[in-house]
Amino acid sequence: MSRQIIVGNWKMNGTRQDAQALVQALISGLPASAPDVVVCPPFTQLALVEPALAASPIGLGAQDCHKDVSGAHTGDISPLMLADLGVTHVILGHSERRQEHGELDETVREKAVAATKAGLTPIVCIGETEEQRESGEYEDVLGWQIKGSLPDGFAGIVAYEPIWAIGTGLAATTDQIAQTMSFLRAELVRQFGEAGKAIKILYGGSVNAGNAVSVLSIPEVAGALVGGASLKADAFLSIVSAASAA
**CA of 81: how far to CAs of 68, 115, 125, 179, in Å?**
11, 10, 22, 38
Give the nearer residue to ligand PGA in terms of CB position, either 166 or 201: 166
Q: Which of these is catalytic: 89, 94, 103, 128? A: 94
Interacting residues with ligand PGA between 148 and 167 (CB under 6 A): 161, 166-167
The residue nearest ligand PGA at its CB is: 227
216 half-sphere exposure, CB direction, 13 A CA radius? 27
Q: Of the candidates 4, 6, 9, 118, which one interacts with ligand PGA according to CB under 6 A?
A: 9
**CA of 220: how far to CAs of 41, 143, 194, 197, 226, in Å?**
27, 17, 16, 10, 17
Question: What's phi and psi for 109, nearest 5 deg?
Answer: -65, -45
Give the nearer residue to ligand PGA in terms of CB position, either 96 or 187: 96
How many residues sit in the footprint of ligand PGA (CB under 6 A)? Answer: 13
Q: What distance, in Å, lies between the first and last C-alpha atoms of the chain?
A: 8
CB of 167 to ligand PGA, least distance (A): 4
**CA of 151: how far to CAs of 35, 100, 113, 114, 127, in Å?**
27, 23, 7, 10, 17
Give the nearer residue to ligand PGA in terms of CB position, either 191 or 214: 214
Nearest to 222 by CA among 190, 206, 246: 246
Is 178 buried (19+), middle (13-18) or exposed (0-12) by CB count in 10 A? middle
Interacting residues with ligand PGA between 179 and 238 (CB under 6 A): 204-207, 225-229
CB of 228 to ligand PGA, least distance (A): 3
Give the nearer residue to ligand PGA in terms of CB position, either 149 or 192: 149
CB of 95 to ligand PGA, least distance (A): 7
Give the nearer residue to ligand PGA in terms of CB position, either 41 or 205: 205
CB of 74 to ligand PGA, least distance (A): 26
Report whether 3 contacts 246 (CB < 8 A): yes
94 is catalytic: yes
Write down how long the chain is.
246
Q: Collapsing DSSP states into helix, strand and coil, what is residue 6?
A: strand
Give the nearer residue to ligand PGA in terms of CB position, either 67 or 94: 94
Nearest to 204 by CA among 246, 237, 157: 157
CB of 51 to ligand PGA, least distance (A): 26
CB of 25 to ligand PGA, least distance (A): 18
Q: Which of these is catalytic: 96, 103, 128, 161? A: 161
Catalytic residues: 94, 161
Interface positions with ligand PGA (CB under 6 A): 9, 161, 166-167, 204-207, 225-229
